[in-house]
Structures are given as C-alpha cells and as structure tokens.
C-alpha cells in the first residue's frame, strides 16, 4: 500500500530489491535514482521506497548527503513516525532489557537491531543519553525524547553529538540537554561486582561502554589471585572487573588522564584503591616500556579503539592489532592469559583472529612457548545484532592461554 503525499525514493533499474524485502535496513546511494528532486530532499526526509516498477517496498528516511541514502523505518504504507510510533519501539526495547537486567543500567536502543536506525540510547538509572547518529533521528529528536520520557519515566535526557557517524551524515557536534539536567558528578555504575564512574557529559561516547559486560565477567573469572594489566582501560573496564574477581593487583594504561582518574575513583569506591595503579601514555609505548622493565602479568587485556573504522582503514588497522598482540604477548607470565579485543566492524572475526594469532606468534618467537585460543566473546545482549547487518556485530574478544 502506498502512502499518499510522501516523497519517493526509487531504486535504479536492475537493482535487486530482494535484499531490502528480506530485511536489510540500508539503501546505498549507488542503488537509488538520485535525480534533482531526490538530491533536493532535506536530510532526514521521510519517504516511500519503491522498486523500478513503482511498487512500494518500505518507509525510509532519506539523506542525499550520505552514502546510506535510505534507512528503512517501517513497512510501506505505515504512518509517519510520531511520539506514539517511537513509544511502541522503545517499549519493545525496554521490555527485553528489563528481563535481562535487574538494575536500569544498559544500552536501551542499539540502532537498527531495535528498529531505530542510527539511534543509540544508553541508560544510566534516571538519565538516558541519546546519540542520534542519523539525520532522520536528529530531525525528529523532540518526539523521540518525549517518547523516551513517557516509556522509561527518566528525569534527565541528554543528547550526545560526538562520534564519527554524525559527521558522515553531515550533522553537527553540538550536545545538549533535552530534559531535566545533566548530572553534576560522574554516575556510579555497578557491573560484575565492579563500580565504574561514568562521565555522561565529558567522557567518551555516552560515558561508559556497556558492550564489554560479558567479556569483563569472563576476564574476572580468570583473575582470582592474578596480577592484571588492562591496556586502553578507559574508565577501568577490565581492570576494575578483575579486582572484583579477586585480582591481587590491576594496572590500567590509557592515554587519557581524566579517564584514568575516573578509573581510580571507581577502584576507591570498591575499596580496592591499594590494589589499583595507573600509567598514562601511548599504549604502544607503555607496552614497550613495561617489557623493558621486565614486567610480567598473569592476565593482560588489550581493548583498543577501532583501528579499522572503515574498509579503507582495514589493512592499517589489522597491522595495528597484530602489533598490539606482539607487544602484549611477552608480558604474559607462563601459563597466563591474554585478551585481545576489537570494536572495528570492518575487521571481521576471521581477519581479527588471524592478525592476533600472527602477533602472538611474533611476540613469542624463540621462547618455545605456545598459545591456545580458549574463548571468543561478543557484545552483551543489550547490543543485539541485526541479522541482515554484519556491521551491528562489531565487537570481538579473543582470550588465549600462553
């Protein structure tokens, strides 16, 4: 059924529409007719997607300035997104998180996999942080925020406008308060027995990375009585989880002094300050320095930022992952464990695993030591993967025994 009075985004002749009909949520610019009328549509325009025969396929959000020119929002003939439309999707997302987690600290909306393309919402108790990373969500931020308040009852809603994705959509980087007020102090978040301090206004992304929760738990299980090194620690991710798991010590390495300060505050809140130390500096340089000091750890975890955020950066990113593994492996004591993580969607699991294994082999060359891959981890269930969108399954964590 067609929706009257909506602009039309039409697929090019010979473009196979089955991919969209089977559930893929994106229309790429090279698949659509981009005539003068289409190019004149303001970013975020809601339109009807049609095939070359003018048969309606879906309701889409259009951004002529983006490589993803169309994002599927609903079936063809659906009404325009309003507060009620947002509330229905948010309620469905909330129902799953409330079943999964006892406390309201989680990713509430994970973009396409929760039916809100390009939208990230993280919840921190009475505060939600929205990242509207697509033009349509920016244009409809008011009904989205109103629906979020209606469904969750939170007192505060912040908009975080940082991140590479907004730049790709032609959006600004101006964050704001949409409801209530921004917390004046970092918000304490309990996960896996650890306490994390989340800076919701000045920290990275929304303030905390919930996606690593199950991998933190696995690492904590390896850490009883262990000396732990957490590289690219941010606000203490793996290091604080290890302390909660009974580590005798944890050293956090990060380039950000504010992040390390938050990590130290988290350790203090856990009553583990005396077991926690930090090293600020470039992670590669710090790994080399630790090797020069003859340092050894029972568990070493490296959780870097996305070294391969795009296909163009893939080869350089894989070399960086290999280098991290090469530098980290010699720091692992005999019989210890090495965890290597990647949040690069361009580097799939197979490529990341190959780079990691190569790096470990180079790092242990000539020592007579061997490695065994004991566990592969992914993001937690509050970060669901869209079955037609491999990019939504971005996080990988490999744990080796050396």
Catalytic positions are 343
DSSP letter, residue 27: E
Q: Tell me the two tokens of residue 176.
A: 């704001």
Q: What is the rounded CA–CA span in Å between residue 15 and residue 51? A: 8
Q: How far is residue 241 from each of residues 16, 65, 205, 252, 295, measured CA to CA in Å?
A: 47, 42, 20, 12, 21
Q: How many CB atoms lie within 10 A of CB 200?
A: 22
How many Cα atoms occupy the beta-carbon half-sphere of 163 within 13 Å?
A: 20
Closest by Cα among 96, 158, 152, 150 to 130: 158
**Contact predicate 48/4, CB 8 Å:** no
CA distance readout (Å), 44 to 10, 64, 78: 16, 9, 17
């Amino acid at each position: 059924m067609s929706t009257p009075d909506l602009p039309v985004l039409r697929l090019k002749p010979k473009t196979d529409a089955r991919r969209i009909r089977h559930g893929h949520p994106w229309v790429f610019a090279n698949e659509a007719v981009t005539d003068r009328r289409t190019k004149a549509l303001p970013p975020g325009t809601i339109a009807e997607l049609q095939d070359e025969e003018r048969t309606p396929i879906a309701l889409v959000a259009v951004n002529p300035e983006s490589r993803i020119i169309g994002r599927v929002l609903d079936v063809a003939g659906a009404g325009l997104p309003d507060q009620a439309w947002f509330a229905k999707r948010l309620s469905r997302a909330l129902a799953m998180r409330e079943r999964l987690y006892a406390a309201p600290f989680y990713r509430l909306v994970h973009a396409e996999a929760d039916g809100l393309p390009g939208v990230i919402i993280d919840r921190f108790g009475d505060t939600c942080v929205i990242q509207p990373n697509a033009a349509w969500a920016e244009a409809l931020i008011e009904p989205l925020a109103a629906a979020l308040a209606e469904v969750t009852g939170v007192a505060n809603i912040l908009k975080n406008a940082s991140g590479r994705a907004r730049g790709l959509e032609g959006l600004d980087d101006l964050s704001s308060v949409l409801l209530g007020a921004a917390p004046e102090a970092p918000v304490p978040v309990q996960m896996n027995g650890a306490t994390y301090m989340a800076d919701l206004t000045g920290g990275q992304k929304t303030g905390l990375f919930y996606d690593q929760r199950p991998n933190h738990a696995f690492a904590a299980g390896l850490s009883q009585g262990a000396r732990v090194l957490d590289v690219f620690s941010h606000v203490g991710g793996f290091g604080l989880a290890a302390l909660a798991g009974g580590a005798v010590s944890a050293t956090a390495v990060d380039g950000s002094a504010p992040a390390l300060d938050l990590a130290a505050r988290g350790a203090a809140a856990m009553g583990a300050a005396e077991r926690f130390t930090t090293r600020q500096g470039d992670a590669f340089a710090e790994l080399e320095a630790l090797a020069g000091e003859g340092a050894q750890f029972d568990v070493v975890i490296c959780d870097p930022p996305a070294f391969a955020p795009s296909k163009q950066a893939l080869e350089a990113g894989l070399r960086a992952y290999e280098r991290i593994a090469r530098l980290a492996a010699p720091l692992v004591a005999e019989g210890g464990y090495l965890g290597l993580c990647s949040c690069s969607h361009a580097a799939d699991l197979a490529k990341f695993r190959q780079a990691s294994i190569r790096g470990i082999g180079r790092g242990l060359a000539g020592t007579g030591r061997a490695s065994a891959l004991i566990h592969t981890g992914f993001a937690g269930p509050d970060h669901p993967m869209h079955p037609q969108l491999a990019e939504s399954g971005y996080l990988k964590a490999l744990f080796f025994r050396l």
